[in-house]
Amino acid sequence: MKTLDIIKSANQNLLRNKLRTVLTVLAIFIGSFTIILNTAIQTGVNSFINGQVEAYGGDGYVIIMSADTMNALGDQMGVSSGEPKEYDPDKIQNSATPISEKQLDELNELSSIEKNSIQPMHNVSISYATSDKTDKKYILEASILPPGEVNIDTVAGVKPDLDSEENQITLPPNYASVLGYDSEEAIVGQTITLAVQDQVTLAYTDFEAKVVGVQASGIITQNSALINRVLGDEIYEENTKYYPENMKNQVYSVSAEFRYKDYSAEEVKDQLKEIGLVGMTVDDIVGSIQSFFDVIITVFNIFGMIALLTAAIGIINTLFMSVQERTREIGLDKALGMPSSEVFLSFTVEAVSLGFWGSLLGTGVAMAAGFGANAIFHAAGGFLEAFPTFQLVEFTPYNVIMLMLVIMLVAFLAGTLPAQKAASKDPIDALRYE
């Protein structure tokens, strides 16, 4: 028999007992819907988290501070042992300690750290932002863009060019309209004013900055503008102009890129430890969110699998009934020369067809539900309104096709039992059966 004929007649046979077929397909649908939607949510959330990770500085990003600073932070936040410590006059204790010049040099020599990627994390402080289109002044936090391949989601324009000679800024969401522009696109390319207050005279110094983009909302890069290095350095200089000379250059933390392709985060941390430094990678910061989320998804996937298992039993049942009903037909097919292997095949194809239709239906409804949910959540008043780049549900062709194939494989395995029974039927018995 031709393969196409086998597939055709398998599907025609499924239509003979429509109710039974519909019920079985429904069971497969429930299982596949659950798993496909789950996977899509997992993909959506993970790609969002990964996007956030990149916004933070990508895979190779590490924030480095002295071990003492870290301990001090730990003490303040109560995550250390809690044992009272004795005072040691030779040691600065329970307070942040700058990274020394020597440590910075050693750091630059570490094999795991990308040469010259080290950038001091100066805190820049701006009093307000304004533009010539408005008289109002708005508070604005800003930080210097981290080095490396940082991915910043923007709704308009781009992220600042870290090494550009011109002062550049990428604004957080919602600033375009308050600064007097019709849209996020309209403000891109315009110049705004950032004012920094003199700590002694209380006078303001203005800095011009060209808006190169507007960020999309995210979890991690909150309402902080990103500025490039020249602008950051200018503002930092203004912020620290009254500092004693030795304090001006004090660095409490630096960001750097490590060679994540060759070194694990643990190896980097070990190298840092040897020179008295502590590193925090992006995984340290967002990894726990992700693993918490993965647990929830796994639980849902178990539900899906149980549903699918039930569906598999449904397939076995349905096909056993149909083998029973079609005893004579199978006998006739075999008498007329159909090999047992084709009888086996035609029943497993029936099972696979059930799996195919069930999972196709599951995929279709899951996609409709997913896209619907995305639209509803992102609509005005939806809980994801503030995160336009976050697709809660994300279907990838690879995932969808793989899942459908897995479900069809499960259906196939379920079908082998009844198919074996059909294939082993003796045509004589079947023909005598009246």
* Choices 87-95, 236-244, 313-321, 339-347; region in contact with other proteins by CB under 8 A: 339-347
Question: Residues, the chain, total?
Answer: 434
Query: Could you say which residues in the range 77-106 bind other proteins, by CB under 8 A?
Result: none
- SS3 state of residue 301: helix
CA angle 298, 27, 6 (to 5 degrees): 115
Q: Check residue 397 for interaction with other proteins (CB under 8 A).
A: no
60 burial type by CB count under 10 A (0-12 exposed, 13-18 middle, 19+ buried): buried
- Any contact of residue 16 with other proteins (CB under 8 A)? yes
Among 5, 149, 206, 325, binds other proteins (CB under 8 A): 5
CB of 13 to other proteins, least distance (A): 10
Contact between 428 and other proteins by CB under 8 A: the answer reads yes
Number of residues that bind other proteins (CB under 8 A): 23
Does 332 interact with other proteins (rule: CB under 8 A)? yes
How far apart are CB 331 and other proteins at their closest, in Å?
8
Cβ(371)–Cβ(393) below 8 Å: yes
Among 1, 7, 220, 386, binds other proteins (CB under 8 A): 1
Among 338, 365, 406, 417, binds other proteins (CB under 8 A): 338
Q: By C-beta, is 106 or 333 nearer to other proteins?
A: 333
Measured between alpha carbons, how far is 116 from 162 in angstroms, rounded to an integer? 14
2 lines the binding site for other proteins (CB under 8 A)? yes
Kindly state the smallest distance separating residue 342's Cβ from other proteins, in Å. Answer: 8
Q: Cβ of residue 430: shortest distance to other proteins, in angstroms?
A: 9
Where is 104: in which H helix or E strand? helix 101-109
x-marked contacts with other proteins along 291-330 as a string, rule CB under 8 A: -------------------------------------xx-
Among 302, 313, 335, 376, binds other proteins (CB under 8 A): 335
Q: CB neighbours of 430 closer than 8 A, spacing ≥ 6?
A: 327, 328, 330, 331, 332, 334, 335
Identify residue 171 by its one-letter amino acid code. L
Residue 312 has a CB neighbour count (10 Å cut-off) of 23
Candidates 337, 380, 381, 397; binder of other proteins (CB under 8 A) is 337
Binding of residue 7 to other proteins (CB under 8 A): no
Task: Tell me which residue of 403, 412, 409, 377 sits closest to 391, measured CA to CA.
Answer: 377
CB of 5 to other proteins, least distance (A): 6
Distances (CA, A) of 319 to 224, 301, 307, 352: 62, 27, 18, 11
Tell me phi and psi for residue 161, to 5 degrees: -85, 110
| Pairwise CA distance, residues 353 & 359, whole Å | 10
What's the closest the beta carbon of residue 335 comes to other proteins, in angstroms? 6
- Binding residues for other proteins, per CB under 8 A? 1-2, 5, 16, 328-329, 331-340, 342, 426-428, 431-432, 434
